[in-house]
Chains A and B, each alone.
Chain A
């Protein structure tokens, strides 16, 4: 299967579409669909996860493989045969050459014998008694009769001067010419030995002759030379007797290399010299072999043998065509044989490959069927391995079937469970919603009834109405808690995780429970030492804190203290609530976070709770990534705690305060960044207003430096945007500008709470000094807040609320406020615009410290702040009893900002 999948390439594996897909076998493309459809099956998933093949070559078919195998087998045979052929050819040639040389040797021996016979005859004739007596006539007669018996041409007797005395061709007594071959005669007289002449032209016989001449010796002296002339045709007989194959050319050469006799065209070539290469070789060796051409121009292999006696030689020329003809035939036969073997092999390979590949392809259908989850039809093949694969596919189908069945049943069960859970959760949700509407009516009616003063009602009736109302409220709480549990269980609650300031969250929680605490006679106290924020959903965390706080209050004995703590605990922040209640009974500790779990305490306590609060709290804390628990407090009571992952403060990097520099000119920015880093700041740099805003959104900064002349907007609008970001509502912003006048005017008109102003040109020493000062400006401890209001109650509420964090300077008149301003060192101003007989707005232009720097202000008014003024202040709030909480929350945000910078400053210092 992996092999098949490798061929099936998925989109995105680098192959162009269309072309490659077209020639894919049908089963491969269908496999793509198969894999797509069944990719949830584990076995196929594994294959899909293979990395796609980038360079994809089609592998050879079985047929191609087998044909290559056949060729691989046959080719070495061919090479061996060629080597063998070469060997046989060389041997055959050698043997032919040797045989021919032997034949030549036999022929030359025959020639020698023939000449020796003639010589012997002449030597016998030389001893004739007729010669010493000078009876030449008788000698002529005797010689003539001898010549006729022999196959000689004539016999000639000559004296030393070369004059012929007897010539059998001429009747005795007639005049005779001189000796035809005087050189021969001279050698005979000189050596006294028989001499065989080369071929020469006989003057009497008028034809080419060869002469054998012997000396005639009398009394130890050579008197005459007796010669017999022989015609070369006589030697032809010797060649003919040998019966050489018809095409072979044999020739007899005299000692000078002239052709004496020849099997072919003797009349034409007798008397000519032989082929130069042959003659040259014959002169040097007694026997040998040379490849040459005959005088007719026929290419021949010539073998020759030379006689040691006469120096005559015989050469036999075997035509090259005849010599190679056999070899060529052998070669052709071999080639035909080899090709026949190859063709047969390829034919067989094709036949068998077809068998194998069709058997393999027969497996594709069952494999595809397995993929589709159908029952595969397993084919029978006559190849064992393929049968085994088929069996494997069958097996795989059954395994797959089993797994699919198991999974389906598990999935069905799971679906059933999920459906049941959904129905349940929907049911609970619907019921809760439906319960609420009548509950609203009931609770409201009872409340109205309870509040109506009707003298006709008895005290018992009033009591019953009160019980009914209290229980309707309890039912409302129960429905709300059930709905919370259901939402948490169903995962419907979306957690909006963000940075949360623990202190302000706990302060809000305490504020919200103050009324309850007063009713129960408990005192609330906050101890917040944590220097870190946490990451959480503030609403949900508040729900948890409220739950713990209300539990603690409910279980507190009268006049006891409930302490809420925020502290760092390793890499966590721990929120804990300590009460001085009766503690948790031993047998209840294990179930305390279970739903509807309530300890067996007095009925009065039990009535107020739903038994779901801690369960909900635990679930929320779990989802916030934290941990909830409790322990017995030393000295009685219980401590419930929540640990949450702590967040590092964002406005510093590795302990260095972090600055944002918005500067258009890159080179200026580089210089400034370098200086800031040297001075111990971490600096982020942006060249456009857009980038600056996105950076400021993503991080807290201890300070922001703004060039008033940015490419995509002026500095004023950038500062306005920055001020709208919650984390930079009061971050020190410092202007870096080459054109201070214009910027200052803009800024003055909108008073953006800019804490310092630096006029260009760039003076780094001056700049560093100002930054440090600006940072310190908010670093006073505790912060000083001016509060201008003509209502003593409001003044009191605010002063009390800010008691822990700030020194509040209260003023009821403009004059008092101006005096406080003159005293200096104010971090924040809270101003009521509507005073008795005057307007707090008149104070706004004066909200500058002695250095002329604007003081952040909060306006607090019955009427809407004027549009121009609204821009001038941090926030404008309506004055009403209910929104005092809102006001305090805003104040806390300001204070927390100042406080965090203050502590950073202290650390930095």
Chain B
């Protein structure tokens, strides 16, 4: 069993800790947290996580901006990203997916099933790679 690396980005320290605890319930997951989008860009390029969990509403650089910057960098362009946001509408979900996100996890999340949700998103990312992913594939 290879470890699965998850990068979590959220400006709230409490949420970061809870997510680390929740994902820690799955022994295969290795979690690293960042407090802002800038840190996430560096960590993603450096660490090459299997999936990034990213808060939408963050100061300075919000979730979509972070996603766009990740896609601009060939090193991070193919990493699936799942947004975490409060109670969203279907329209917003479609919008996020059109930006290249693999999916969205609603807040407040159930910490007991968060790991399973992340696994589901990982699987669907494997099956249906995001648009940006395809765009960067060699012909």
> Could you tell me the distance between the alpha carbons of A883 and B126 in the complex, rounded to whole angstroms?
14
Q: Write the nearest CB–CB distance from B31 to chain A, whole angstroms.
A: 14
The answer, yes or no, to whether A436 is at the interface (CB within 8 Å) is yes
What residues on A are CB-neighbors of B22 within 8 Å? 444, 448
| Chain A residue nearest to B86 in the complex (CB) | A436
What residues on A are CB-neighbors of B21 within 8 Å? 448
Q: Write the nearest CB–CB distance from B37 to chain A, whole angstroms.
A: 17
> Could you tell me the distance between the alpha carbons of A451 and B91 in the complex, rounded to whole angstroms?
34
Which of A437, A494, A878 is the one whose CB lies under 8 Å from B12? A437
Asked if A864 meets B108 with Cβ closer than 8 Å, knowing A441-B18, A445-B18, A539-B89, the reply is no
Q: Write the nearest CB–CB distance from B54 to chain A, whole angstroms.
A: 15
B15 near A437 (CB under 8 angstroms)?
yes
Would you list which residues of chain B between 91 and 120 have a CB under 8 Å from chain A? 91, 107-112, 116-117, 120
What residues on B are CB-neighbors of A882 within 8 Å? 116-117, 120
Which of A436, A444, A447, A880 is the one whose CB lies under 8 Å from B120? A880
The answer, yes or no, to whether B124 is at the interface (CB within 8 Å) is yes
The answer, yes or no, to whether B127 is at the interface (CB within 8 Å) is yes
Q: Write the nearest CB–CB distance from B9 to chain A, whole angstroms.
A: 15
What residues on B are CB-neighbors of A878 within 8 Å? 123-124, 126-127
The answer, yes or no, to whether B46 is at the interface (CB within 8 Å) is no
The answer, yes or no, to whether B87 is at the interface (CB within 8 Å) is yes
> Could you tell me the distance between the alpha carbons of A864 and B127 in the complex, rounded to whole angstroms?
5
What residues on A are CB-neighbors of B124 within 8 Å? 878, 883
| Chain B residue nearest to A862 in the complex (CB) | B123
A880 near B123 (CB under 8 angstroms)?
yes
What residues on A are CB-neighbors of B18 within 8 Å? 440-441, 444-445, 448
What residues on B are CB-neighbors of A863 within 8 Å? 127
Asked if A440 meets B107 with Cβ closer than 8 Å, knowing A448-B18, A864-B126, the reply is yes
> Could you tell me the distance between the alpha carbons of A443 and B18 in the complex, rounded to whole angstroms?
10
Would you list which residues of chain B between 41 and 79 have a CB under 8 Å from chain A? 57
B120 near A883 (CB under 8 angstroms)?
yes
| Chain B residue nearest to A886 in the complex (CB) | B124
Q: B86, B110, B116 — which one has the most chain A CB atoms within 10 A of its CB? A: B86
> Could you tell me the distance between the alpha carbons of A438 and B127 in the complex, rounded to whole angstroms?
35
A436 near B108 (CB under 8 angstroms)?
yes
> Could you tell me the distance between the alpha carbons of A494 and B91 in the complex, rounded to whole angstroms?
10
The answer, yes or no, to whether A483 is at the interface (CB within 8 Å) is yes
Q: Write the nearest CB–CB distance from B55 to chain A, whole angstroms.
A: 9
Q: Write the nearest CB–CB distance from B28 to chain A, whole angstroms.
A: 16
User: Contact flags (1/0) for A459-493 with B, using CB distance below 8 Å?
Assistant: 00000000000000100100010010000000000
Asked if A448 meets B111 with Cβ closer than 8 Å, knowing A483-B87, A878-B123, the reply is yes
User: Contact flags (1/0) for A873-886 with B, using CB distance below 8 Å?
Assistant: 00010101011000
User: Contact residue range for chain B?
Assistant: 20 to 34
A447 near B86 (CB under 8 angstroms)?
no
The answer, yes or no, to whether A48 is at the interface (CB within 8 Å) is no
Asked if A444 meets B108 with Cβ closer than 8 Å, knowing A436-B86, A494-B91, the reply is yes
A447 near B127 (CB under 8 angstroms)?
no
B120 near A439 (CB under 8 angstroms)?
no
Q: Write the nearest CB–CB distance from B26 to chain A, whole angstroms.
A: 14
Would you list which residues of chain B between 5 and 40 have a CB under 8 Å from chain A? 12, 14-15, 18, 21-22
| Chain B residue nearest to A445 in the complex (CB) | B18
The answer, yes or no, to whether A496 is at the interface (CB within 8 Å) is yes
> Could you tell me the distance between the alpha carbons of A790 and B18 in the complex, rounded to whole angstroms?
38
| Chain A residue nearest to B117 in the complex (CB) | A882
B111 near A444 (CB under 8 angstroms)?
yes
User: Contact flags (1/0) for A427-461 with B, using CB distance below 8 Å?
Assistant: 00000010011111101110110010000000000
Q: A448, A451, A876 — which one has the most chain B CB atoms within 10 A of its CB? A: A448
Q: Write the nearest CB–CB distance from A876 to chain B, whole angstroms.
A: 7
The answer, yes or no, to whether B1 is at the interface (CB within 8 Å) is no
> Could you tell me the distance between the alpha carbons of A433 and B85 in the complex, rounded to whole angstroms?
11
What residues on B are CB-neighbors of A451 within 8 Å? 111-112
B90 near A447 (CB under 8 angstroms)?
no
What residues on A are CB-neighbors of B107 within 8 Å? 436, 440
B112 near A433 (CB under 8 angstroms)?
no
What residues on B are CB-neighbors of A437 within 8 Å? 12, 15
Q: Write the nearest CB–CB distance from B108 to chain A, whole angstroms.
A: 4
Which of A440, A480, A876 is the one whose CB lies under 8 Å from B109? A440
> Could you tell me the distance between the alpha carbons of A515 and B123 in the complex, rounded to whole angstroms?
25
What residues on A are CB-neighbors of B120 within 8 Å? 880, 882-883
What residues on A are CB-neighbors of B15 within 8 Å? 437, 440-441, 444
> Could you tell me the distance between the alpha carbons of A799 and B21 in the complex, rounded to whole angstroms?
38
What residues on B are CB-neighbors of A496 within 8 Å? 91
| Chain A residue nearest to B24 in the complex (CB) | A448
Which of B12, B87, B127 is the one whose CB lies under 8 Å from A441? B12
> Could you tell me the distance between the alpha carbons of A451 and B24 in the complex, rounded to whole angstroms?
14
What residues on B are CB-neighbors of A448 within 8 Å? 18, 21-22, 111-112
> Could you tell me the distance between the alpha carbons of A483 and B89 in the complex, rounded to whole angstroms?
12
What residues on A are CB-neighbors of B112 within 8 Å? 447-448, 451
Asked if A441 meets B123 with Cβ closer than 8 Å, knowing A433-B86, A451-B112, the reply is no
What residues on A are CB-neighbors of B126 within 8 Å? 864, 878
What residues on B are CB-neighbors of A480 within 8 Å? 87
> Could you tell me the distance between the alpha carbons of A883 and B116 in the complex, rounded to whole angstroms?
12
Q: Write the nearest CB–CB distance from B34 to chain A, whole angstroms.
A: 17
> Could you tell me the distance between the alpha carbons of A476 and B107 in the complex, rounded to whole angstroms?
10
> Could you tell me the distance between the alpha carbons of A436 and B57 in the complex, rounded to whole angstroms?
12
A539 near B90 (CB under 8 angstroms)?
yes
What residues on B are CB-neighbors of A444 within 8 Å? 15, 18, 22, 108-111
| Chain A residue nearest to B19 in the complex (CB) | A444
User: Contact flags (1/0) for B122-139 with A, using CB distance below 8 Å?
Assistant: 011011100000000000
Which of A476, A494, A539, A880 is the one whose CB lies under 8 Å from B108? A476
> Could you tell me the distance between the alpha carbons of A356 and B110 in the complex, rounded to whole angstroms?
89
> Could you tell me the distance between the alpha carbons of A883 and B128 in the complex, rounded to whole angstroms?
14
> Could you tell me the distance between the alpha carbons of A875 and B14 in the complex, rounded to whole angstroms?
41
Q: B111, B112, B117 — which one has the most chain A CB atoms within 10 A of its CB? A: B111
What residues on B are CB-neighbors of A445 within 8 Å? 14, 18
What residues on A are CB-neighbors of B108 within 8 Å? 436, 439-440, 443-444, 473, 476
Q: Write the nearest CB–CB distance from B119 to chain A, whole angstroms.
A: 8
| Chain A residue nearest to B114 in the complex (CB) | A444
| Chain A residue nearest to B93 in the complex (CB) | A539
What residues on A are CB-neighbors of B57 within 8 Å? 433
Q: B18, B22, B110, B127 — which one has the most chain A CB atoms within 10 A of its CB? A: B127
Q: Write the nearest CB–CB distance from B47 to chain A, whole angstroms.
A: 24
| Chain B residue nearest to A480 in the complex (CB) | B87
> Could you tell me the distance between the alpha carbons of A539 and B93 in the complex, rounded to whole angstroms?
12
Asked if A447 meets B110 with Cβ closer than 8 Å, knowing A433-B86, A480-B87, A539-B90, the reply is yes
> Could you tell me the distance between the alpha carbons of A5 and B50 in the complex, rounded to whole angstroms?
74
> Could you tell me the distance between the alpha carbons of A863 and B14 in the complex, rounded to whole angstroms?
37
User: Contact flags (1/0) for A263-278 with B, using CB distance below 8 Å?
Assistant: 0000000000000000
| Chain B residue nearest to A450 in the complex (CB) | B112
> Could you tell me the distance between the alpha carbons of A445 and B107 in the complex, rounded to whole angstroms?
13
What residues on A are CB-neighbors of B89 within 8 Å? 539
What residues on B are CB-neighbors of A494 within 8 Å? 91
Would you list which residues of chain A between 535 and 551 have a CB under 8 Å from chain B? 539
User: Contact flags (1/0) for A492-524 with B, using CB distance below 8 Å?
Assistant: 001010000000000000000000000000000
What residues on B are CB-neighbors of A476 within 8 Å? 108
Give the B-binding residues of A (Cβ under 8 A). 433, 436-441, 443-445, 447-448, 451, 473, 476, 480, 483, 494, 496, 539, 863-864, 876, 878, 880, 882-883
Nearest 9 A-B pairs (CB), nearest first?
A440-B108, A441-B14, A444-B18, A444-B111, A878-B127, A443-B108, A864-B127, A440-B107, A436-B86
Please name 11 pairs of A and B residues whose Cβ atoms are closer than 8 Å in the assembled complex, sorted by A.
A433-B57, A438-B14, A440-B109, A443-B108, A444-B108, A447-B112, A448-B111, A483-B87, A876-B127, A878-B123, A882-B120
- With A437-B15, A440-B18, A445-B14 given, can you name 16 additional A-B contacts, CB distance below 8 Å? A436-B108, A437-B12, A440-B109, A441-B14, A444-B109, A447-B111, A448-B112, A451-B112, A496-B91, A864-B127, A876-B127, A878-B124, A878-B127, A880-B120, A882-B117, A883-B120
